Protein backbone atom coordinates (compact mmCIF):
# COMPACT_ATOMS: atom_id res chain seq x y z
CA UNK A 1 0.00 0.00 0.00
CA UNK A 2 1.33 3.43 -0.90
CA UNK A 3 2.18 5.65 1.99
CA UNK A 4 -0.09 8.62 2.11
CA UNK A 5 1.58 11.85 3.05
CA UNK A 6 -0.50 13.58 5.72
CA UNK A 7 -1.94 16.89 4.56
CA UNK A 8 -0.10 19.67 6.34
CA UNK A 9 -1.85 22.85 7.30
CA UNK A 10 -1.07 26.16 8.96
CA UNK A 11 2.37 26.64 10.46
CA UNK A 12 3.37 23.07 9.51
CA UNK A 13 2.60 23.73 5.86
CA UNK A 14 4.55 26.96 6.09
CA UNK A 15 7.62 24.85 6.94
CA UNK A 16 7.32 22.93 3.66
CA UNK A 17 10.26 23.66 1.35
CA UNK A 18 9.49 26.96 -0.37
CA UNK A 19 9.84 25.35 -3.82
CA UNK A 20 6.67 23.30 -3.26
CA UNK A 21 4.60 26.28 -2.27
CA UNK A 22 2.76 28.57 -4.70
CA UNK A 23 3.03 32.29 -5.30
CA UNK A 24 -0.12 34.19 -4.36
CA UNK A 25 -0.75 37.20 -6.59
CA UNK A 26 -3.64 39.51 -5.80
CA UNK A 27 -5.38 42.31 -7.75
CA UNK A 28 -8.05 44.77 -6.71
CA UNK A 29 -11.58 45.41 -7.89
CA UNK A 30 -12.13 48.70 -9.75
CA UNK A 31 -12.69 51.69 -7.47
CA UNK A 32 -13.18 55.45 -7.60
CA UNK A 33 -15.63 55.29 -10.51
CA UNK A 34 -13.36 53.26 -12.82
CA UNK A 35 -14.74 50.21 -14.60
CA UNK A 36 -11.47 48.32 -14.64
CA UNK A 37 -8.40 47.91 -12.47
CA UNK A 38 -5.11 46.96 -14.15
CA UNK A 39 -3.98 45.08 -11.05
CA UNK A 40 -6.72 42.48 -11.55
CA UNK A 41 -6.38 42.52 -15.35
CA UNK A 42 -2.74 41.48 -14.84
CA UNK A 43 -3.80 38.59 -12.57
CA UNK A 44 -6.23 37.37 -15.21
CA UNK A 45 -3.50 36.85 -17.79
CA UNK A 46 -0.54 35.71 -15.70
CA UNK A 47 0.74 32.22 -16.59
CA UNK A 48 -0.19 29.29 -14.34
CA UNK A 49 3.42 28.89 -13.26
CA UNK A 50 6.62 30.92 -13.18
CA UNK A 51 9.71 28.73 -12.98
CA UNK A 52 8.72 25.86 -10.69
CA UNK A 53 6.18 27.88 -8.72
CA UNK A 54 2.45 27.65 -9.28
CA UNK A 55 0.74 31.03 -9.56
CA UNK A 56 -2.53 31.45 -7.65
CA UNK A 57 -4.51 34.65 -8.11
CA UNK A 58 -7.17 36.21 -5.90
CA UNK A 59 -9.40 39.23 -6.59
CA UNK A 60 -9.57 41.52 -3.61
CA UNK A 61 -12.38 43.98 -2.75
CA UNK A 62 -11.24 47.61 -2.59
CA UNK A 63 -12.50 47.82 0.97
CA UNK A 64 -10.72 48.53 4.22
CA UNK A 65 -10.64 45.45 6.55
CA UNK A 66 -12.34 43.14 4.03
CA UNK A 67 -9.26 43.27 1.76
CA UNK A 68 -7.05 41.98 4.58
CA UNK A 69 -9.58 39.28 5.53
CA UNK A 70 -9.71 37.98 1.95
CA UNK A 71 -5.93 37.82 1.60
CA UNK A 72 -5.40 36.31 5.06
CA UNK A 73 -7.92 33.57 4.20
CA UNK A 74 -6.13 32.89 0.91
CA UNK A 75 -2.79 32.64 2.72
CA UNK A 76 -4.26 30.18 5.23
CA UNK A 77 -5.64 28.07 2.40
CA UNK A 78 -2.68 28.15 0.01
CA UNK A 79 0.35 28.63 2.30
CA UNK A 80 2.25 30.50 -0.43
CA UNK A 81 6.02 31.00 -0.27
CA UNK A 82 5.67 34.49 -1.78
CA UNK A 83 2.77 36.95 -1.79
CA UNK A 84 2.74 39.68 -4.45
CA UNK A 85 0.01 42.26 -3.95
CA UNK A 86 -0.79 44.41 -6.99
CA UNK A 87 -2.64 47.73 -7.06
CA UNK A 88 -3.40 50.62 -9.38
CA UNK A 89 -1.57 53.92 -8.82
CA UNK A 90 -3.20 56.24 -11.35
CA UNK A 91 -0.93 59.12 -12.30
CA UNK A 92 2.33 57.21 -11.87
CA UNK A 93 4.29 56.56 -15.05
CA UNK A 94 6.31 53.57 -13.82
CA UNK A 95 5.75 50.19 -12.30
CA UNK A 96 6.52 50.88 -8.62
CA UNK A 97 8.01 48.30 -6.29
CA UNK A 98 6.92 49.46 -2.84
CA UNK A 99 9.50 49.48 -0.05
CA UNK A 100 7.36 50.15 3.01
CA UNK A 101 3.84 49.85 4.47
CA UNK A 102 2.79 52.27 7.24
CA UNK A 103 0.32 51.74 10.08
CA UNK A 104 -2.22 54.39 9.12
CA UNK A 105 -5.38 54.76 7.06
CA UNK A 106 -6.10 58.25 5.70
CA UNK A 107 -8.60 57.91 2.87
CA UNK A 108 -9.11 60.83 0.47
CA UNK A 109 -12.14 59.05 -1.03
CA UNK A 110 -14.51 56.41 0.32
CA UNK A 111 -13.72 52.77 -0.41
CA UNK A 112 -16.15 50.51 -2.30
CA UNK A 113 -18.16 49.91 0.90
CA UNK A 114 -18.44 53.63 1.67
CA UNK A 115 -15.81 53.62 4.44
CA UNK A 116 -13.44 56.58 4.72
CA UNK A 117 -11.16 56.16 7.75
CA UNK A 118 -9.08 59.23 8.56
CA UNK A 119 -5.87 58.99 10.59
CA UNK A 120 -6.72 55.61 12.08
CA UNK A 121 -4.17 52.88 12.81
CA UNK A 122 -4.51 49.67 10.82
CA UNK A 123 -3.39 47.53 13.79
CA UNK A 124 -3.72 49.30 17.15
CA UNK A 125 -0.84 47.36 18.71
CA UNK A 126 1.19 46.96 15.51
CA UNK A 127 4.55 48.57 14.72
CA UNK A 128 4.56 51.93 12.89
CA UNK A 129 5.72 50.27 9.66
CA UNK A 130 6.87 47.10 7.95
CA UNK A 131 9.38 46.84 5.14
CA UNK A 132 8.57 44.58 2.18
CA UNK A 133 10.08 41.15 2.80
CA UNK A 134 10.66 40.42 -0.90
CA UNK A 135 13.95 41.56 -2.51
CA UNK A 136 12.79 44.91 -3.92
CA UNK A 137 16.05 45.85 -5.64
CA UNK A 138 16.44 42.49 -7.37
CA UNK A 139 12.82 42.82 -8.49
CA UNK A 140 13.40 46.37 -9.75
CA UNK A 141 16.48 45.23 -11.68
CA UNK A 142 14.53 42.36 -13.25
CA UNK A 143 11.63 44.61 -14.28
CA UNK A 144 14.03 47.09 -15.90
CA UNK A 145 15.89 44.22 -17.56
CA UNK A 146 12.55 43.16 -19.09
CA UNK A 147 12.40 46.60 -20.70
CA UNK A 148 9.67 47.99 -18.45
CA UNK A 149 9.95 51.46 -16.83
CA UNK A 150 10.11 50.94 -13.07
CA UNK A 151 11.15 52.51 -9.79
CA UNK A 152 11.28 51.81 -6.09
CA UNK A 153 8.55 53.76 -4.31
CA UNK A 154 8.83 54.77 -0.68
CA UNK A 155 5.10 55.26 -0.16
CA UNK A 156 2.19 53.02 -1.08
CA UNK A 157 -0.13 55.88 -0.06
CA UNK A 158 -2.64 55.75 2.80
CA UNK A 159 -5.64 54.15 1.04
CA UNK A 160 -6.61 50.50 0.64
CA UNK A 161 -3.34 49.44 -1.05
CA UNK A 162 -1.13 50.51 1.86
CA UNK A 163 -3.78 49.08 4.20
CA UNK A 164 -3.59 45.65 2.55
CA UNK A 165 0.21 45.76 2.30
CA UNK A 166 0.53 46.55 6.02
CA UNK A 167 -2.23 44.13 7.01
CA UNK A 168 -0.66 41.26 5.07
CA UNK A 169 2.81 41.80 6.53
CA UNK A 170 1.28 42.09 10.01
CA UNK A 171 -0.75 38.90 9.53
CA UNK A 172 2.31 36.99 8.32
CA UNK A 173 4.45 38.24 11.22
CA UNK A 174 1.78 37.68 13.87
CA UNK A 175 1.01 34.14 12.66
CA UNK A 176 4.68 33.16 12.49
CA UNK A 177 4.64 32.47 8.77
CA UNK A 178 7.84 32.71 6.73
CA UNK A 179 6.11 33.71 3.47
CA UNK A 180 7.69 36.80 1.92
CA UNK A 181 5.39 39.60 0.79
CA UNK A 182 5.64 42.67 -1.40
CA UNK A 183 3.49 45.23 -3.18
CA UNK A 184 3.71 46.48 -6.77
CA UNK A 185 1.75 49.52 -7.94
CA UNK A 186 1.02 49.84 -11.66
CA UNK A 187 -0.04 52.86 -13.78
CA UNK A 188 -3.38 53.38 -15.46
CA UNK A 189 -4.10 51.26 -18.52
CA UNK A 190 -4.18 53.15 -21.81
CA UNK A 191 -7.98 52.70 -21.90
CA UNK A 192 -8.24 54.52 -18.55
CA UNK A 193 -5.97 57.35 -19.69
CA UNK A 194 -7.98 58.15 -22.82
CA UNK A 195 -10.25 60.37 -20.71
CA UNK A 196 -7.21 61.99 -19.09
CA UNK A 197 -5.11 63.61 -21.82
CA UNK A 198 -1.48 63.99 -20.85
CA UNK A 199 -1.66 61.50 -17.97
CA UNK A 200 0.71 58.52 -18.00
CA UNK A 201 -0.47 55.04 -18.94
CA UNK A 202 1.00 51.64 -19.72
CA UNK A 203 -0.13 48.75 -21.93
CA UNK A 204 -1.35 45.64 -20.10
CA UNK A 205 1.21 43.41 -21.84
CA UNK A 206 4.04 45.66 -20.63
CA UNK A 207 2.79 45.51 -17.04
CA UNK A 208 2.45 41.74 -17.22
CA UNK A 209 6.02 41.39 -18.50
CA UNK A 210 7.25 43.50 -15.59
CA UNK A 211 5.26 41.62 -12.96
CA UNK A 212 6.38 38.23 -14.31
CA UNK A 213 10.00 39.36 -14.18
CA UNK A 214 9.52 40.65 -10.63
CA UNK A 215 8.00 37.36 -9.45
CA UNK A 216 10.81 35.34 -11.05
CA UNK A 217 13.36 37.57 -9.31
CA UNK A 218 11.60 37.25 -5.94
CA UNK A 219 11.68 33.45 -6.27
CA UNK A 220 15.33 33.38 -7.34
CA UNK A 221 16.73 35.85 -4.80
CA UNK A 222 17.17 34.97 -1.13
CA UNK A 223 19.28 38.01 -0.24
CA UNK A 224 18.54 41.31 -1.94
CA UNK A 225 21.13 42.96 -4.17
CA UNK A 226 22.60 46.39 -3.43
CA UNK A 227 21.59 48.84 -6.13
CA UNK A 228 21.02 52.56 -5.71
CA UNK A 229 17.36 53.39 -6.33
CA UNK A 230 16.67 55.98 -3.66
CA UNK A 231 15.24 59.44 -4.01
CA UNK A 232 16.61 62.80 -2.87
CA UNK A 233 13.19 64.18 -1.98
> Distance between CA 12 and CA 20 in Å, rounded?
13
Set 43, 79, 163, 185: catalytic member: 185
Pick one of 24, 75, 101, 159: the residue that binds ligand PCA (CB under 6 A): 159
Among 26, 39, 168, 192, binds ligand PCA (CB under 6 A): 39
Residue 147 to residues 10, 136, 143, 160, Cα–Cα distance (Å): 38, 17, 7, 29
- Among the listed residues 41, 63, 79, 98, the single catalytic one is 98
Identify the three-state secondary structure at position 123: coil
Q: Is 98 a catalytic residue?
A: yes
Binding test (CB under 6 A) with ligand PCA, winner from 87, 117, 167, 210 = 87
A 10 A CB-CB count for 226 gives 6
| Among positions 56, 57, 88, 96, the unique one binding ligand PCA when judged by CB under 6 A | 88
Range list of β-strands (E), 156-229: 180-186
For position 96 contacting ligand PCA by CB under 6 A, the verdict is no
Which residues ranging from 17 to 36 are in contact with ligand PCA (CB under 6 A)?
28, 31
Residue 19 CB coordination number (10 Å):
10
What is the nearest approach in angstroms of ligand PCA to the Cβ of residue 7? 34
Residue 24: phi and psi, rounded to 5, are -95, 125
Nearer to ligand PCA, 85 or 138 (CB): 85
Q: How far is the CB of 160 from ligand PCA (least distance, A)?
A: 4
Establish whether 163 is a catalytic residue: no
Maximum separation of any 2 CA atoms in the chain, in Å: 67
Nearer to ligand PCA by Cβ, of 54 and 59: the residue is: 59
Residue 153's Cβ-side half-sphere holds a number of Cα atoms within 13 Å equal to 22
* Backbone φ, ψ for residue 131 (5° rounding): -85, 150
Does the annotation mark 161 as catalytic?
yes
Stretch that binds ligand PCA, among 68-76, 83-91, 141-149, 189-197 (CB under 6 A): 83-91
State how far the Cα of 39 lies from the Cα of 225, in Å rounded to an integer.
26
Name the residues annotated as catalytic. 98, 161, 185
User: Where on the chain is the footprint of ligand PCA (CB under 6 A)?
Assistant: 28, 31, 37, 39, 62, 87-89, 157, 159-161
Amino acid sequence: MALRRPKTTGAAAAREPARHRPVLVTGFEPFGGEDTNPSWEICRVLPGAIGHARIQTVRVPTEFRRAIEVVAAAIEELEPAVVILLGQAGGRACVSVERVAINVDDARIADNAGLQPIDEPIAAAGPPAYFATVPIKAMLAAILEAGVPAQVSNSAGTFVCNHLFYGTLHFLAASGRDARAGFIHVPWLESQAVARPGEPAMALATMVRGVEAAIAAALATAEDVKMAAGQLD
